[in-house]
Amino acid sequence: MATMNTPISAFDLSKEALPDLLLKIQQGFIQLPDLQRSFCWHDDLVIDLLASVSQGWPIGGILLQEVSNGSWKVCSRLVEGVQLEQVPTPTELILDGQQRCTALFMCLFSNRPVRVQSRRNGKMGDRWYYIAIDKALDSEVDREQSILSFNCRRVRPGFAGHPAINCSTPDQEYELGLFPLAQVFSYAVWRQGYSKYWQYNPEKLELLDRFEREVIKRFEHFQVPVIRLKPGLPKTAICRVFEKVNTQSEQLNFFDLATACFASQDFSLRDDWVKREQRLKQQRVLQTVKETDYLACVALVATYHKRQ
């Protein structure tokens, strides 16, 4: 039987306002444990996530590990897109929901383009995201269709008879009615420029009022379900939880799981691979070797010598 000093549950359930969550990430109080992989979402996944939040739809919960002075130490890093001169000691680590948190931070809070992965060649590229005001307010249009992805120069090249779209200046954004989602939490500033550009046209202002009520407020008041693991759990338990919650994801590969296993032994497989990859790329024939390929080769060689 548990004593009065023994917690019945190892976790707490709560909700966190999206702006508050992203602010903690920006300040470095929420970080990633080193066992987490890098951000690897494609363009369409980011658009789907933004569409869900803009409609107030659930996006799933995130799992955080509370960190205290008495809990185990683990190597951590800032969420991608965060830039700080002085990195504080984290108070919480993201065990599950990293991709969603990273995507939302880079899109809505970083004021920099989002680094997404190409489905065609796997390379990373910079993207800006806009939402077409008129389409977002049209109930006949799927929200995903109203969110547009632009390259790092804020230009969307033309294709299949559609002309190119240029949003490289605020005036072009105002003219086209395309709102930059990077300014969703500084909407008042953009609105002021938009209103001045259209000379305070009543119809345009009424459209903006409706857009603010039906879209912008969804972002400002969005609540994220949060599971917080209490301090005091052993490192092996944390790594086991990480493994369990991520094996349901199709994108998690053997390297990611192996990283979690080695983390409980104070070894960073990720850092080790970065060094080895640099050496491999010095040879042209080995430049395309991935981390999973390398681990597979190591496993084959190790198994062979073990059997010998």
Measure the CA–CA gap between 58 and 4, rounded to whole angstroms. Answer: 36
Q: Which of 143, 131, 104 is nearest to 190 (CA)?
A: 131
Long-range contacts of 146-155 (CB under 8 A, 24+ apart): 146/51, 147/47, 147/50, 147/51, 147/54, 147/181, 148/178, 149/43, 149/46, 149/47, 151/125, 151/126, 151/127, 152/113, 152/125, 152/126, 152/127, 152/128, 154/128
Q: Among 179, 198, 229, where does a domain finish?
A: 229
Q: Say whether both 188 and 292 belong to one domain.
A: no
Q: Say whether both 182 and 40 belong to one domain.
A: yes
Q: Say whether both 72 and 195 belong to one domain.
A: yes
* Domain assignment present for 253: no
Please report the pLDDT score of residue 269 as a whole number: 82
CA 46-102-82 angle, 5° bins: 135
Kindly state the average pLDDT of the residues 8-25. Answer: 88
Q: Say whether both 74 and 210 belong to one domain.
A: yes
pLDDT band at 245 (very low <50, low <70, confident <90, very high): low
Q: Is the confidence at residue 100, as pLDDT, over 80?
A: yes
Please report the pLDDT score of residue 150 as a whole number: 96
Q: Is the confidence at residue 1, as pLDDT, over 50?
A: no
Kindly state the average pLDDT of the residues 84-109. Answer: 93
- Look up residue 297 and give its DSSP letter: H
Q: Say whether both 148 and 283 belong to one domain.
A: no
Q: Say whether both 273 and 172 belong to one domain.
A: no
Kindly state the average pLDDT of the residues 107-126. Answer: 88
Mean pLDDT of the chain: 87
Please report the pLDDT score of residue 246 as a whole number: 63
| Rg of the chain on CA atoms, in Å | 23
Between 220 and 245, name the one with better pLDDT: 220
Please report the pLDDT score of residue 28 as a whole number: 95
* Domain assignment present for 217: yes
Q: Say whether both 53 and 119 belong to one domain.
A: yes
Residues 6+ apart with CB under 8 A from 116: 41, 42, 43, 46, 124, 125, 127
Q: Among 199, 229, 259, where does a domain finish?
A: 229
Q: Say whether both 152 and 272 belong to one domain.
A: no
Q: Among 198, 229, 260, where does a domain finish?
A: 229
* Domain assignment present for 73: yes
* Domain assignment present for 257: no
Measure the CA–CA gap between 304 and 193, rounded to whole angstroms. Answer: 68
Long-range contacts of 300-305 (CB under 8 A, 24+ apart): none
Q: Say whether both 216 and 281 belong to one domain.
A: no
* Domain assignment present for 249: no
CA 123-41-173 angle, 5° bins: 90
| Number of structural domains in the chain | 2
C-beta of residue 30 within 8 angstroms of C-beta of residue 94:
yes
Q: Say whether both 193 and 285 belong to one domain.
A: no
Please report the pLDDT score of residue 247 as a whole number: 54
Please report the pLDDT score of residue 250 as a whole number: 45
Please report the pLDDT score of residue 3 as a whole number: 45
Please report the pLDDT score of residue 229 as a whole number: 86
Long-range contacts of 162-171 (CB under 8 A, 24+ apart): 167/128, 167/130, 170/197, 171/197
* Domain assignment present for 171: yes
Which of 95-104, 156-165, 248-257 comes out lowest in average pLDDT? 248-257
Please report the pLDDT score of residue 8 as a whole number: 56
Q: pLDDT tens digits, residue range 275-303?
A: 888 888 888 888 888 888 888 898 899 99
* Domain assignment present for 248: no
Q: Is the confidence at residue 201, as pLDDT, over 60?
A: yes
List the structure tokens of 268: 């960073």
Instruction: Give percent above pLDDT 90 in the chain.
Output: 56
Q: Say whether both 198 and 272 belong to one domain.
A: no
Please report the pLDDT score of residue 34 as a whole number: 78
* Domain assignment present for 123: yes
Kindly state the average pLDDT of the residues 199-227. Answer: 96
- Look up residue 91 and give its DSSP letter: S
C-beta of residue 154 within 8 angstroms of C-beta of residue 168:
yes
Q: Say whether both 215 and 285 belong to one domain.
A: no
List the structure tokens of 154: 């804020």
- At residue 149, the 3 state secondary structure works out as strand
Please report the pLDDT score of residue 40 as a whole number: 84
Residue 35: domain span: 11-229
Instruction: Give percent above pLDDT 70 in the chain.
Output: 87
0.85 surpassed by pTM: no
Measure the CA–CA gap between 275 and 35, rounded to whole angstroms. Answer: 16
